[in-house]
Structure 1
Amino acid sequence: MITVLTGENAYLLQAELRQRIADFVVEYTDMGLEQLDGEEVSYDRMREALESLPFLASKKLVLLRSPSANKQFIEKAADLLANVAETTDVIIVEPKPDKRTSYYKFLKKSADVKDFPQMDESSLSRWLTEQAKGQGGSVSLADARYLVDRVGANQQLLYNEITKLLNYNPKVTRQTIELLTDHTPQSTIFELLEAALGGNEKKALSLYTDQRAMKVEPQYILAMLAWQLHIMAVVSAADGRDATEIAKVAKINPFVVRKTQNLVQQMSMVQIKQLVRRALELDIALKSQPIDADEALRDFIMNIGQ
């Protein structure tokens, strides 16, 4: 049996992989387990693992991580995998496969492909409430949503944060979230941009000052602003499309897309392009002229809503 684990949700993908390995080891012992990284081993080594029979075990499990990193494997995958013995199970981990290739089309046709996409904010919030309950605690859906907004959509990070919060107090509240967690730079930059576009220059500058106090350099803040502006342009250009569709096509987390949709509702593409152009001009100036980066970026932020 050939199973392919794919998708950008590393947390769920790795959880599935760990469970499959654990189940195999319980039934057949680790004598039949072979794990190879396609970025490190040769094609011949992967071929040998797939063609050899189990040793001191009735069944064998071959785990191949990113075998598509090996060009020779891609070229010969169809023939190689089609001839794997019934006593050998294969798990292929390809987080971001090129779906245009004949290699992926073969896997889609011949293997059991399990996709693990990123979750949107609503799904993440519900997942957090379930995690809290499973660990003997509780968090309201609203506070779970606040935690997602605060630290972002990285599921492994969210798991770590909810576990930390539950260890502090089984009842997780907005107050304990603010006490024990930090805004990720990305979520802070989104909030900064949202405040600036809404005309709240004081809040925007305060958020910028907080980032600088944490030793985040102006150039990095500008880079994150530029990335957010890029997402705004993508979302604005896809006006009318569902967030899930935009996320899939543009390869952007659906959580980020939904937040950005709310941000661009009152903006035209012309306004967004002007902001992108001004950010580019500032980036060029910072790299080519002896100007005060802090002062220049503060001025940029104050004029975002103009």
Structure 2
Amino acid sequence: MLHLVTGENTYQAEQEVRSIARASKGEVRWVSGDTLTPDGLADILMGVSLFASSEVTVLTHVGDTPTIWEKLGEWAERVDPGKTIIVWEPKPDKRTRAYKSLAAHAQVHICPLWTDRQDGLAREWLAKRARESGVKLSPGHVASMVSRATRPTDAPGISVIDQRQLHNALTALSVVDDITDDAIAATMPALPAENIFHLLTYAVERDVASVQRMLAELRATDDAHRTFALIAGQWFQLMSLALVPAGSAESLGIKPYAARSLSGLVRQVNRAQLRDLTQLCADIDAGMKLSQFEPWDGVERFLLGIALR
């Protein structure tokens, strides 16, 4: 039986692989696609083996080698039905003939990352796993952990929840006698979006020294374009909150926690400043895309524009 496991939720994908292996009652053999030759792949898929009825072969990174990926698609319909073969490919190119052939001849298991719109599902899962593991988490702890496991994506307005990070943090907390906010923070360091919020807060509060200190740290560890995108995203949320009636955050797609965090900043920026700074943000964004200046200079210019308004 041929299985195709896809999706970027590596925790769920790993659980799927284990479930298939348990059902097959066989030992698992992992084979990386970059070590395979066409002959080696043919032997795995169709060759005679003493372990054909029990061994489970997991093929990973097959898509990284085009010739092997193409052969896998070509031979998918010829896989020995007595074998259990799992192809684990998080982000296969669905436009390829190989993918279409695999999808047609394999049992497909899709493991997508949870989005921030599924935070309720994530909290429910985490609370259940904590109970099963004997870890005492309060509802506040659960909410905090899910928030820390949430990160932005390249798609505007879309964030994802890292289920593996939640699992790993829960494992770490299982040896802690007294679970506190500090213990959670130690096992789940602040995500870039949280650092960006602090950076924006310093700028709005005109704390130039702190802005420059954080920028120096980010220059050494992060990407300027990514940092600017996160700052701009939070700035536009702040602007939106300033221009709509109180209590309208949810209709704008802004989460209550983010709205509460930004509300204190909204009162410190007047409408004229909002207009001028939003135009500055747009101008810097356009300049960065045209490579008119160093990206980090653009990030600093916008933040200092806010701080020195």
TM-score (norm 1): 0.67
The structural deviation recorded for 1:223 is 4.5
CA contact (8 A) 2:63 2:69 kept: yes
* Aligned pairs for 1:96-175 within 5 A: 96-121=91-116, 122=119, 123-152=121-150, 153-169=161-177, 172-174=179-181
Aligned to 1:86: 81
Aligned to 1:14: 14
Aligned to 1:273: 282
The structural deviation recorded for 1:35 is 2.9
The structural deviation recorded for 1:194 is 5.2
Any unmatched runs of 5+ in structure 2? 151-160, 238-252, 267-273
* Aligned pairs for 1:243-258 within 5 A: none
**Counterparts of 1:276 and 1:224, CA distance in 2:** 12
SS in 2 for 1:105: helix
CA contact (8 A) 1:229 1:276 kept: no
SS in 2 for 1:139: coil
SS in 2 for 1:87: coil
The structural deviation recorded for 1:299 is 5.5
Kindly indicate whether residue 75 of structure 2 is the aligned counterpart of residue 73 of structure 1: no
Aligned to 1:183: 190
AA paired with 2:195? I
The structural deviation recorded for 1:45 is 1.0
SS in 2 for 1:147: helix
Q: 224, 242, 246: which one pairs with 1:222?
A: 224
CA contact (8 A) 1:189 1:221 kept: no
**Counterparts of 2:38 and 2:233, CA distance in 1:** 39
CA contact (8 A) 1:61 1:88 kept: yes
Cα distance change on mapping 1:116 and 1:42 into 2, 3 Å: same
Cα distance change on mapping 1:274 and 1:78 into 2, 3 Å: same
**Counterparts of 1:229 and 1:195, CA distance in 2:** 11
SS in 1 for 2:175: helix
AA paired with 2:282? K
Deviation string 1:224-278 (CA, Å, 9 cap, x unpaired) is: 4134258789x9xxxxxxxxxxxxxxxxxxxxx977xx789x9999665334246
CA contact (8 A) 2:197 2:234 kept: no
The structural deviation recorded for 1:88 is 1.2
The structural deviation recorded for 1:146 is 1.8
Range with greater deviation from structure 2 (161-170 or 87-96): 161-170
The structural deviation recorded for 1:190 is 3.4
The structural deviation recorded for 1:302 is 3.4
CA contact (8 A) 1:8 1:118 kept: yes
The structural deviation recorded for 1:95 is 0.4
TM-score (norm 2): 0.67
CA contact (8 A) 2:288 2:295 kept: no
Aligned to 1:248: none
The structural deviation recorded for 1:283 is 8.9
AA paired with 2:171? T
**Counterparts of 1:142 and 1:275, CA distance in 2:** 39
Aligned to 1:284: 293
The structural deviation recorded for 1:163 is 2.8
AA paired with 1:139? L
CA contact (8 A) 2:36 2:68 kept: no
**Counterparts of 1:179 and 1:34, CA distance in 2:** 35
The structural deviation recorded for 1:211 is 7.5
- Identity over aligned pairs, percent: 19
The structural deviation recorded for 1:298 is 5.6
Aligned to 1:301: 303
The structural deviation recorded for 1:173 is 4.4
AA paired with 1:63? V
CA contact (8 A) 1:192 1:208 kept: no
The structural deviation recorded for 1:117 is 0.8
The structural deviation recorded for 1:4 is 0.6
Range with greater deviation from structure 2 (273-282 or 123-132): 273-282
SS in 2 for 1:108: helix
The structural deviation recorded for 1:195 is 3.0
AA paired with 1:182? P
Aligned length: 263
SS in 1 for 2:76: helix
The structural deviation recorded for 1:39 is 2.0
AA paired with 1:222? A
Aligned to 1:51: 46
SS in 2 for 1:97: coil
The structural deviation recorded for 1:92 is 0.6
AA paired with 1:177? I
CA contact (8 A) 1:161 1:181 kept: yes
**Counterparts of 2:292 and 2:147, CA distance in 1:** 28
